Amino acid sequence: MELIQNMGEPKFRAAQIWEWLWKKHVGSIEEMSNLSKALRQKLSAEFFIPKVRIHHSQFSSDGTIKNRLELHDGQFVESVLIPTEKRVTVCVSSQVGCSLACKFCATGFLKRIRNIDFDEIVDEVSLAQAQALEHYGRPLTNIVYMGMGEPLLNYRNVLASVERITAADGLGMSPRRITVSTAGVSKMIYQLGEDEVKFKLALSLHAGSDEKRSQLMPINDTSDIASLVAALNHFYKKTGNEITLEYILFKGINDTLDDADKLVKFFRQVPADLVNIIEYNTIEGADFQKPEELDVAAFMKYLETKRVNARLRRSRGKDIDAACGQLANVDGAQMKA
């Protein structure tokens, strides 16, 4: 408002500009049609809108859409739009690349280049909203921070983006429809509790012992299972928000009944509502395989007998490398416009 007044403009112009930016999500100052041409020229001389744009989209046979998004500095990330009978969910990225190097994740093979700014994350969501309405005839119902990067290592921007997405003068989405996923940064999970966030939390666990988890996820060397148990309990004590555990099954690594028992023991130490058992999706450069269906069934049966609320989640968008762990920022030339 002070800037606008210093330009000799009335106060209400600030509200108009705010609406163009955060309600209508314009890509340029020139599109702010209710501002005078002179004011638009003044603003354009000093500012630009770092708008995210869809570079290419790829369409799966199951209705899933993967977008390669170009950021204002020429960097690329990917987002995924996933329709089901009851929901339309967008999976957004929080970093260009990733520093955690999880052995089974395509993004983990990429170098972390930078954090994604909060307004860029909001753009990811607004683009997905428009795409959902265009292709499915219905709006977004859910947002998951499960794309490229570790959200809790971009803490400030992730929380700022949630604030804008849930604001009445923003996208107005309920925080209960937002889930932030983490590979397990214990101190930042603890901080989420201190900040009393309103959104849900998902932990990528993938093994119930430190030995196996460290083999899969190097982050476990600094955020081990004991620290995760303490952090999750603190998060729940401070927020009461839903916690989900994510567990990808890898053949011969974490798919035995002994592994299932370790998962049960972890589950009983934390206030988790659900365990998502996820099928492994192959990626180039990783030597992992999916378990046999009989082993998957036995694993699920064991969890059932121990009264663990578990669900076997089949991946969407596998035919376009849009499934869990497959986002690798491929060359747009390989994607259909």
- As annotated, the active-site residues are 78, 324
Q: What does each C-alpha distance from 3 to 39, 80, 283 come to in angstroms?
A: 12, 37, 50
Cα 288 → chain centroid? 23
CB 176 within 8 A of CB 200: yes
Instruction: Please name the residue that has the structure tokens 């012992």.
Output: 209
Give the DSSP per-residue string, 136-204. Answer: HSS---EEEE-SSS-GGGGHHHHHHHHHHHHSTTTT---GGGEEEEES--HHHHHHHHHTT--SEEEEE
165-173: which pairs have CB atoms within 8 A and are 24 or more residues apart? 165/122, 165/125, 166/198, 167/22, 169/18, 169/19, 169/22, 169/23, 170/22, 170/23, 170/122, 171/122, 171/125, 171/126, 171/129, 173/140, 173/143
**How far is it, in rounded angstroms, from Cα 175 to Cα 142?**
9
